[in-house]
Amino acid sequence: MSSGIAWGSSLEDALQRAYSEDKRVLLYFSAAPM
C-alpha cells in the first residue's frame, strides 16, 4: 500500500473520527513489512 497514507492504528478511534467527519473507515490487514 502506498506510503503517505495517514494510517491510524486504532479501529475504535477511527470509528469515532469517521462519525464526526462523516467518513468511512478503511481497515487494512497486511503482512507486508511496514
Partner 1 sequence: MVRFINEEFVPVSVNVRNQAEEFKRLGSRLGVQWTPTELVIDSSGVERHRVEGFLPPQDFLAQLELGLAQAEFAQSKFAEAERRYREVVTRYPETEAAPEALYWAGVARYKASGDSGALSQTANQFQERYQNSSWAKKASVWAQPAQTPASAPH
Residue 19 belongs to what H/E stretch? helix 11-21
If binding means CB under 8 A, how many residues of this protein chain bind partner 1? 30
Least gap, CB of 12 to partner 1 (angstroms): 9
Least gap, CB of 18 to partner 1 (angstroms): 4
Q: Which of residues 1-34 bind partner 1 (CB under 8 A)?
A: 1-11, 14-15, 17-19, 21-34
Handedness of CA 7, 11, 13, 19 (dihedral sign): positive
Grid coordinates in use for 4?
503517505
Residues at the contact surface with partner 1, assessed by CB under 8 A: 1-11, 14-15, 17-19, 21-34
